[in-house]
Amino acid sequence: MDTIDLDNDVSPQLALRACVSCKSSKKKCDKTLPTCNRCARLCLSCSYIDVAETRAEDFTSTFQAVFDRLERLESRVFASEEDRPAAAPDQCKGDNRSDWQLRPSLLQPSYLELIVAMNLSKILDERDTSVRAVGEKYLSVVHNYAPVISKERLECRTQEAESLEPHSPFLVFISSILLLTEEPVGSFVSSNTASPPDLYRTCKHNYTVFLSLNEPCIELIQAGVLIALYEHAQCMGSQAYLTIGTCARMAGAIGLLSATSSVSSSSKLVTSKEEETNILLVIYILDRHIKIASRVVMKHIIDDYSQITKPSTVPVNSLQCEADCCDIMVRLQAILGFSASAGITSLSADAIWNHIGALEAQLQSLKVIFWGHRGDYSWHRCIATVFAANLCIYTYRRLQAAGDSTAESFEQRRKDSLELLGLLMDISSSQLDLNTSTAVFPSPFPIIILFQVLDCMTSLEKVGSDSFLLRERQTFMDMLLHFSTRWRLARRLYEALPQT
């Protein structure tokens, strides 16, 4: 009888994937359990850790180990000043001249990626959070008012980060989310001279170095938009203007919404037209808000030397209509001056009336579009912007007609303003800041809209008219005051208004 050779006939158990050692060295692995043949032959530690299920604490601990190793290397390579022999006075200029100089060898792309990853790891560890948790906070808060990244891209990049194979620009994007959602430093918000928080300086430094020494990509644009929004809301007007302009240039460089788009040329991710459109519209809207706020932040209106253009061939949605209305607001500001009551010197009275009439017609067209969506919360910020623009025009007409017995009737414009105001009051009864998901993380976008409304109400109050509008003035003041606890721009605007 033939004997059975158990050693040869029993199939070895195999792992589902290559071991960590073989994978990291890009060698073929036979996946034998408990130790593959290559690791056994080379006396290597063999492990089949499922990296797809690696948790955030693994991510943190790994980079902490790298931190520790770098610190040990620095202590050996770059001796401290105390350990160095003192140089003779006549040698100080020559021998130590290079101590302060930049080392270009440390600006290699691989080093920059490591630095960004380690910085984020430390930031997340200090806040007891993770990349995934920050991404979830983005979806629940920021995405409602600045939808710059698709859910698919966010999930894919998050999985890469959890697998310790992060896309470095995405890590900068995660830092920018923290900027908008983290509780601000009280001393920074309440002061006009306090230095920006450490988180902002770290995030902006990583972003600036990365875009300077690497090719532009969509994640860098997404990070830049959120950084610019933070700078705008914290009254860092010049920085916001430059950052959003850089984002627009990068969008053009990678060909967003063009036939030669290179967005996905180096990535397995496919960028949808909706994602591209949303990015461009948010860039445009934020640029308009920065320009409107410039008269308070910079004491002058920013000149459109290099104007950011609005995407044209996109489907009509709330962002598109809001962008149209923001454009009207900027044009109104250019026509009327710094406020609805300012004197006009550059245009004749007839020219102003013609411009105002054309803008009024555009507002009526927008009203027809959004009226069917007034129950959809995503359209409410558009409604608020239309109301502010409508009120600016109404206030100007009202002031110009003061004392004129032949002035045209304002009944229809009063009716339109009252209708929009009533709609906004219904909205604000459930959401204090007109368009955000929570009261804890208020969107910065309504700030300048609130100010425009209050600025007009102040002008109307001076001529003692329109009590139906002025009765809600305190409600809007309370809203702006609520924003001022978080955003410096709201505080500056609140202080610029007369208190009652």
What is the model's pLDDT at position 339?
Answer: 45
For the chain, the domains span 11-49, 56-68+106-315, 322-496
Average pLDDT over residues 381-406: 75
Q: Is the pLDDT of residue 149 over 80?
A: yes
Query: Can you state the percent helix, strand and coil of the chain, rounding each to 5?
Result: 65, 0, 35
Q: For residue 214, which phi and psi values (nearest 5 degrees)?
A: -130, 165
In the block, which residue shows the tokens 């408990």? 34
Question: In this predicted structure, what is the pLDDT of residue 427?
Answer: 52
Mean pLDDT of all residues in 428-432: 47
Highest averaged pLDDT of the listed ranges 246-255, 287-296, 405-414:
246-255
CA dist., res. 303 & res. 249, Å (int) = 17
Q: Which tens digits make up the pLDDT trace of 3-31?
A: 444 444 556 778 888 888 888 888 888 98
The number of C-alpha atoms within 13 Å of 318 and in the hemisphere containing its C-beta is: 20
Between these two residues, 246 and 70, which has the higher pLDDT value? Answer: 246
In the predicted structure, residue 301 carries a pLDDT above the cut 80? no
Residue 89 clears pLDDT 50, i.e. is over it: no
Q: What backbone phi and psi angles, to 5 degrees, belong to 32?
A: -70, 135
Higher per-residue confidence, 460 vs 313: 460
* In 341-379, alpha helices (H): 349-371
More confident residue, 112 or 428: 112
Q: What is the pTM of this model?
A: 0.75
Mean per-residue pLDDT, 380-392: 84
Identify the pLDDT of residue 433: 43
Query: Across residues 337-366, what is the average pLDDT?
Result: 71
127 has pLDDT over 60: yes
Query: Domain 11-49 belongs to what topology?
Result: CD2-Gal4 (4.10.240)
Which residues are CB-contacts of 465 (< 8 A; sequence separation ≥ 6)?
398
pLDDT bin (cut points 50, 70, 90) of residue 286 is very high
Q: What is the pLDDT of residues 456-479, one digit of tens each?
A: 888 877 766 666 667 778 888 888
Q: Which tens digits make up the pLDDT trace of 162-184? A: 998 889 999 999 999 999 998 77
| Section 231-243 average pLDDT | 90
pLDDT at 409 over 70: no
Q: Which has more pLDDT, 200 or 87? A: 200
Structure tokens of 442?
Answer: 């208020």
pLDDT for 174 equals: 97
Read off the pLDDT band of 385 (50, 70, 90): confident
**DSSP character string of 118-166:** HHHHHHHHHTT--HHHHHHHHHHTGGGT---S-HHHHHHHHHHHHTT--
Are the C-beta atoms of residues 388 and 452 closer than 8 Å to each other?
A: yes
Q: 86 falls in which pLDDT band (50, 70, 90)? A: very low
pLDDT value of residue 67: 60
What does the mean pLDDT of the chain come to? 77
Among 129, 131, 111, residue whose Cα is nearest residue 172: 131
Q: What is the mean pLDDT of residues 185-209?
A: 86
pLDDT at 51: 45
Residue 70: per-residue pLDDT: 60
Q: Does residue 34 carry a pLDDT above 80?
A: yes
What are 238-276's pLDDT values in tens digits? 899 999 999 999 999 998 866 545 554 445 677 788 899
Can you give the pLDDT at residue 75?
57
Q: Cα(293)–Cα(328) distance, rounded to whole angstroms?
A: 15
Residue 90: per-residue pLDDT: 45
Quickly state the pLDDT bin for 489 (edges 50, 70, 90). very high
pLDDT given for residue 4 in this prediction: 43
60-70 as b/e: b if 16+ CB within 10 A: beebeeeeeee
